[in-house]
Amino acid sequence: MYGDMASQKDTQGRNSVIDLRSDTVTRPVPAMRAAMAEAEVGDDVYGEDPSVAALEKRVASLLGKEAALFVPSGTQSNLLALLTHCARGEEIITGREYHVCKYEAGGSSALGGAILTPLDGDANGGLTAQAVAAAIKDPDDIHFPLSRLVSLENTWNGRVQDQAEIVRIAEVARENGLAVHLDGARLMNASVASGLAPADLAAPFDTVSLCLSKGLGAPVGSVLSGPVDFIHRARRIRKMLGGGMRQAGILAAGGLYALDHHVERLAEDHANARALAEGLSGIEGLEADYPETGTNMVFLRLSPDRFGAFKAAMTEAGVLMGGRAPLIRLVTHLDVSANDVGRIVEAAAGAFGARR
């Protein structure tokens, strides 16, 4: 139903439905489609796809790593990292609300036998070096699993993480013989919002997963970056998981186009999210959460008796929203314009009540 609605146009040629469920709903722009259609391809399982090779080299350089591996999804990219870092029975310390712990079907435990130890994050979603240090197990105590990896996330719920604390966490991890992985699905949002180069944000980490199919607007794919020997081992696990792709250069070309054309424009999404939060906060009874560390996500907290009715009314008005009660998540992206922000606020005012 949603897919059919989102494809409809009004009399001015605009999308009649504004889809705020995620930045994964974006569709390739015409120039990206052209680049994909014209991509030079080969068999990537044999290492012969030049477009895939170019994308992997590009992302590795962008993040300051030695090598990279193109994979179908961010979930697989994270899973490859966790399974390559950890043997069965070894421990991953991560955030309770992070994707690798909560939203990726427990793959590292189900498929790799690794143990996830979740820690509570602060209001910004960040862990602290003190909490991570306390969670690391004594390797000589046979009662505990061997702590092997710390896995962090940036951004989290659209919030840019504290880079200084990340550096301290990485230092604590390495002092205790642990590696550090970053779920950087929206790392480019963090870079644009913070003004820090992607390589600087990635520097504390051994491995980094970067998603191309969220705010960057490519239709498919993520890239895992790290040391050459690590990526070589991850490539074998990718094959084991069924993730070997053949003429994948068609997809890689979309990622290359996104890196060339869709990074700096992320600032527009951030500005639209801030404007949306301000507009929604002007409606009596609505409180929009958009912190100083925010990027392209706005959250609304509604009482249980209003949640379902509000979402239904917004859908009826042509605005699709995600989230689980009591939080509604609104995600801006390249298919949401500044003009759309005004339409969303007007629809919310009609669905919820008069403006303040």
3-state secondary structure 108-156: HHHHHCCEEEEECCCCCCCCCHHHHHHHCCCCCCCCCCCEEEEEEECCE
> Would you kindly state where each structural domain of the chain is located, as residue ranges?
2-24+265-352, 39-260
Distance CA 97, CA 129 (A): 17
CATH class of 2-24+265-352: alpha beta
Beta bridge partners of 236: none
- Which candidate, 130, 126, 118, 131, places its Cα nearest to that of 91? 118
CATH class of 39-260: alpha beta
Distances in whole angstroms, Cα of residue 246 to Cα of each of 41, 50, 51: 9, 12, 12
How many residues make up the chain in this entry? 356
Cα(first)–Cα(last) distance of the chain, in Å?
Answer: 34
Q: What are phi and psi of 17, to 5 degrees?
A: -115, 130
DSSP class of residue 25? Answer: G
The pLDDT value recorded for residue 11 is 41
The pLDDT value recorded for residue 12 is 46
- For 336, the 3-state DSSP assignment is coil
The pLDDT value recorded for residue 354 is 55
- For 68-92, give one letter per residue: b (16+ CB within 10 A) or e: bbbbbbbbbbbbbbbbbbbeeebbb
CA atoms within 13 A on the CB side of 192: 21
Give the pair of three-digit tokens for residue 48. Answer: 């012969």
Q: Between the CA atoms of 237, 238, 243 and 246, what dihedral angle is there, to the nearest 10 degrees?
A: -120
- Which candidate, 90, 107, 45, 37, places its Cα nearest to that of 71? 45
pLDDT in tens, the chain (356 residues): 444 444 455 544 456 899 999 999 999 999 999 999 999 999 999 999 999 999 999 999 999 999 999 999 999 999 999 999 999 999 999 999 999 999 999 999 999 999 999 999 999 999 999 999 999 999 999 999 999 999 999 999 999 999 999 999 999 999 999 999 999 999 999 999 999 999 999 999 999 999 999 999 999 999 999 999 999 999 999 999 999 999 999 999 999 999 999 999 999 999 999 999 999 999 888 889 999 999 999 999 888 888 888 999 999 999 999 988 889 999 999 999 999 999 999 999 998 765 54
